[in-house]
Amino acid sequence: MGALDRYLDEQLSRGRAYFTREEGLDALGLSQGAFSAAATRLTRKRRLASPRRGFFLILRPEDQIAGAPDPVRWIDPLMKYLGLDYRISLLRAAAFHGSSHQAAMVFQVVVPRQLRAFDIGRHRLQFVYQAPAAFAKANHPDWLAQMKSEAGFAKVAGVELVLLDSARYFHKAAGINGVAQIAKDLGAHADPRKLAKAAAYYENASVRRLGYLLDRAGHVRQAGALEPFARKAKSMKLLDPSVKPLIESFAALHEKDSKWKLIINEPVEADF
C-alpha cells in the first residue's frame, strides 16, 4: 500500500472525505510528480475524484458506483477552498424545503463569481451567478438554512430566497411552470417580512413575477408583501421573457395583469 493510500484511510478514519493538494503534499512529503502520479493511479481505481484542480474527494466503496459522494457532503469545503461564499438554491433547495414535485437532477449553487458547470460521476453541479453586491446583501445569515449530511453542514437558501432565486433564474428552475409549482408548494412557509426585505436585492420584474405566482397560488400574505414593488414599476414586463412573440404587435393580444404590471404571455400550469 502506497503512502497516499494510507493517507486516504487515515482521513476517512477521522471522518474527513476530502483534502487539498497542499495538505497531501505537506502530510506525505512527496514531490509534485510523485504525488500527481499516485493521485492519477487512485483516480483510475476510483478511490479519488477531483471536482476542481487541487481539491480531492476520497471515495468510499458506496460512493464508487455514483463516481462521487452527494455534493451536499463536500460543497462547503470546496467553496472554502475556492474562497467563495455560496448558497445551494433553486431545485435542490426547493426539494429540501418540501417541494416534492422538484426532481433535482442538478445541484445548483448561487455564487458571486462566474464558474463553469461540471459533471463528476453521476452528479452535475451548476453555478448560478448573482452580482457580488446583490449576493452579499441577499446571502444574509438570517435568510439561510443548513443542509445536514453525515459530513457536516452546507449553506442552503431559506424558503424566501428559494422563491426569489427561482423567479429570478426561472430558466434554471424548470421554467415558469416549475417556478409556479415551487411558489404553490413553498409560498405558505415564507415569512412575508423576510420576503419583502430580501426582494429589495432582486430585479423588480422578477419580484413581480413571483408576486403574481404567489397570488395565483392563494398565498395572499406573501403576495401582498411584494405588492409595493409592483406599484413602483413604470412599465409592463413579460411574465416569461424567454417566450418572445415573432411579431411585436402580437404582445398586445396577451392578457395583462394590471396589479403586477405583467403581460401574461405564457399560460401557467401547476398543481394548483
Class of domain 3-69: mainly alpha
Lowest model confidence (mean pLDDT) among 16-20, 140-144, 147-151, 174-178: 147-151
Summarised one tens digit per residue, pLDDT across range 233-264 is: 999 999 998 876 644 545 556 689 999 999 99
Of the candidates 103, 101, 81, 84, which has an alpha carbon nearest to the alpha carbon of residue 92? 103
Q: Is 148 helix (H, G, I), strand (E, B) or coil?
A: strand
List Cα–Cα distances, 248 to 180, 189, 265, in angstroms. Answer: 26, 39, 12
Summarised one tens digit per residue, pLDDT across range 152-161 is: 899 999 999 9
Summarised one tens digit per residue, pLDDT across range 11-49 is: 999 989 999 999 999 999 999 999 999 999 999 999 999
Question: What predicted TM-score, i.e. pTM, was given to this entire model?
Answer: 0.92
Q: Give the model's pLDDT for residue 105.
A: 80
Residue-range domain boundaries for the chain: 3-69, 73-231
Residue 149: φ, ψ to 5°: -140, 175
Residue type for position 235? S
The single residue listed with the C-alpha cell 401557467 is: 268
Give CA 180 to chain center in angstroms: 17
C-alpha cell at 115: 464558474
Q: Give the model's pLDDT for residue 200.
A: 97
- Per-residue pLDDT, averaged over 136-157, amounts to 93
Q: Give the model's pLDDT for residue 100.
A: 72
Summarised one tens digit per residue, pLDDT across range 204-239 is: 999 999 999 999 999 999 999 999 999 999 999 999
* 24: enclosing H helix or E strand: helix 21-28
Summarised one tens digit per residue, pLDDT across range 42-87 is: 999 999 999 999 999 999 999 988 889 999 999 999 999 999 999 9
Residue 105 to residue 114: CA distance in whole angstroms = 21
- On average, the pLDDT of the chain sits at 92
> Using the 8-state DSSP alphabet, how is residue 109 labeled?
E
